[in-house]
């Protein structure tokens, strides 16, 4: 008898920087979240830290991680996450996106970046589930939403589609001299509340047009790459409402993380 895959939800998570591993609350929240999920057949990750056009499929074998950060203690560069590659999933992604509208290329040496492996280390520490990362070919919200729509059938094949960003992200305004759980600045709190309410009400059009609809949008996201993985998640969710699994702030940035379906 063939194994019938469980239909998986879609995730959008705020992934944190490498020091997330030192935050006992956040790591516990991520581990608790994954413990409540069915085991996926594979994980497909879209990270804020990989923009490349056309849409590019990362390594389908286990290759070194991409330590795409600078100035941290050496121990953060010693982290490994030797998850199996996912060549079958890569073929499915190619098939689902085939056509002139969404051309696809391969980057066989491109390993997981920190937007992918930092949360996966906490959520699936055994590194025994195949993982595939794909790039964002643009930051256009509706294009990313449509890519998510095309990838949605993977959910019925047991694939956990995960968008990894940060619900608010302005490093120029980050003050790591204060405690990590300090009260957030008004721009971060206002954007976070607006986003929660828009998502809870199902106003996807407003979320896609957040640069014109949300308060403090330019401060919350001077560039939108950390919000953009949410658009793929919303497309893959097929109109299912999100619920917030993690909320609160980390050095003033909203770490809201969502499960859809």
pLDDT digits (tens, 9 = 90+) for 222-232: 999 999 999 99
Predicted confidence band at 3 (pLDDT cuts at 50, 70, 90)? low
User: Using 50, 70 and 90 to split pLDDT, how confident is the model at 174?
Assistant: confident
Mean pLDDT of 20-44: 96
250, containing H or E segment: strand 249-250
- The per-residue pLDDT of the chain, averaged, comes to 95
Has residue 2 got a pLDDT over 60?
no
Does 155 have pLDDT greater than 70? yes
**Domains along the chain with CATH numbers:** 10-260 (3.40.830.10)
Averaged pLDDT for residues 191-215 = 97
User: 156 φ, ψ to 5°?
Assistant: -75, -5
pTM, two decimal places: 0.96
Any idea which of 217-221, 237-241, 244-248 has the lowest mean pLDDT?
237-241
Rounded CA-CA distance 225/37 in Å is 27
């Amino acid at each position: 008898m063939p194994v019938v895959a469980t239909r998986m939800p879609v995730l959008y998570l705020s992934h944190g920087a490498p020091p997330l591993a030192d935050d006992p609350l956040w790591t516990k929240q991520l581990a608790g979240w994954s413990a409540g999920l069915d085991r996926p057949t594979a994980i497909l990750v879209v990270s804020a830290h990989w923009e490349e056009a056309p849409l590019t499929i990362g390594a389908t074998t286990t290759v070194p991680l991409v330590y795409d950060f600078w100035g941290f203690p050496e121990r953060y560069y010693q982290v490994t996450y030797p998850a199996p590659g996912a060549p079958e999933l890569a073929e499915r992604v190619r098939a689902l996106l085939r056509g002139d509208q969404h051309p696809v290329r391969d980057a066989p040496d491109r390993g997981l970046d920190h937007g992918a492996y930092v949360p996966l280390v906490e959520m699936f520490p055994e590194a025994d589930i195949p993982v595939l990362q794909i790039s964002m070919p643009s930051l256009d919200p509706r294009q990313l939403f449509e890519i998510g729509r095309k990838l949605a059938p993977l959910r019925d094949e047991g694939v956990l589609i995960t968008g990894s960003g940060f619900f608010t992200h302005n490093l120029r305004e980050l003050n790591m001299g204060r405690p990590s759980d300090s009260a957030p600045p008004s721009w971060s709190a206002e954007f976070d509340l607006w986003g929660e309410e828009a998502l809870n009400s199902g106003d996807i059009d407003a979320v896609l047009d957040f640069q014109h609809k949300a308060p403090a949008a330019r401060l919350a996201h001077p560039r939108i790459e950390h919000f953009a993985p949410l658009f793929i998640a919303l497309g893959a969710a097929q109109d299912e409402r999100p619920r917030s699994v993690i909320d609160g702030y980390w050095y003033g940035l909203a770490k809201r993380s969502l499960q859809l379906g």
